[in-house]
Amino acid sequence: MSIFLNRKSVRNYDENFKIPRNELNEMLELALRAPSSMNLQPTRMIVVESKEAKEKIKPHMFGNILQLDTSSAFIIIATDLNKFETGIKVFSDSEHLGFLPKEVANRQKDIIKERNNNYNKARILNEGYLDGGLLAMQLMLVAKEYGYDTCPIAGFNKQTILSALNIEDENLQPILIVSLGKAKDAGYDSYRISLDDAVKYY
């Protein structure tokens, strides 16, 4: 239970501590185990680590500068609005690697093609927020398990932040940032509403 009870949003990190790349990749791979709608896996992570890249995105933050300046990695979670095109490969690979029989993979591919024709951008984006939110939560818990801390951050300009990094891809929509690092200040204890207020049984 400890990672669930001990995870808190941490906003000030040891700015001299760099998470080794292999350890960061392990955490990101575990985060990628999060579920996604139809297993299309549309979530992408843009990892901002260098001082230079951090300075580029700074003007696109709404507050949250302490997390930006002190975190070891500032991870922009984005969703691929072109997921029905890129997702076909998930099913080809699933079949070739023996995760799915050919008939099942083909049936899924047919559904994807049908949705590609019928879903509008708002619906795809809505699914992207769900998938990306689940992955972000998984990343925050994995980080805690590894002894690090995080803060989910929605306070940034979603329209401009990727251009600041010279990423020009109209299908890539940022949804959330997760700052990640070694905590310098512990996060605040935060109140939760009661079970009675949050849960109804029928």
Ligand X SMILES: Cc1cc2nc3c(=O)[nH]c(=O)nc-3n(C[C@H](O)[C@H](O)[C@H](O)COP(=O)(O)O)c2cc1C
* Phi, then psi, of 136 in degrees rounded to 5: -60, -40
Of 15-23, 41-49, 81-89, 147-155, the segment contacting ligand X by CB under 6 A is: 147-155
Measure CA of the first residue to CA of the last residue in the chain; give whole Å.
27
Task: Verify binding: residue 155, ligand X, rule CB under 6 A.
Answer: yes
Site string for ligand X, 67-106 (x = CB under 6 A): ----------------------------------------
Provide CB contacts within 8 A for 119, sequence distance 6+: 84
CB 75 to ligand X: min, Å: 14
Contacts (CB under 6 A) with ligand X, residues 55-74: 64
Q: How far is CA 22 from CA 28, 55, 79, 153, in A?
A: 10, 24, 24, 24
Dihedral Cα 112, 77, 8, 191, nearest 10 deg: -60
CB 96 to ligand X: min, Å: 37
* Phi, then psi, of 18 in degrees rounded to 5: -105, 125
Residue number of the CB closest to ligand X reads 155
**In this complex, which beta carbon is closest to ligand X, that of residue 21 or of residue 58?**
58
Task: Verify binding: residue 178, ligand X, rule CB under 6 A.
Answer: no
**In this complex, which beta carbon is closest to ligand X, that of residue 48 or of residue 176?**
176
The DSSP element (H or E) to which 47 belongs, if any, is strand 43-48
CA 64 to mean position of chain CA atoms: 17
**In this complex, which beta carbon is closest to ligand X, that of residue 126 or of residue 152?**
152
**In this complex, which beta carbon is closest to ligand X, that of residue 38 or of residue 130?**
130
- Indicate which single residue of 19, 28, 73, 153 sits in contact with ligand X (rule: CB under 6 A): 153
Report yes or no: 81 and 115 within 8 Å, Cβ to Cβ.
no
Specify which residues 78 forms β-bridges with: 44, 174
Contacts (CB under 6 A) with ligand X, residues 2-31: 8-9, 11
Q: Which residues bind ligand X (CB under 6 A)?
A: 8-9, 11, 64, 151-155, 176, 187, 190
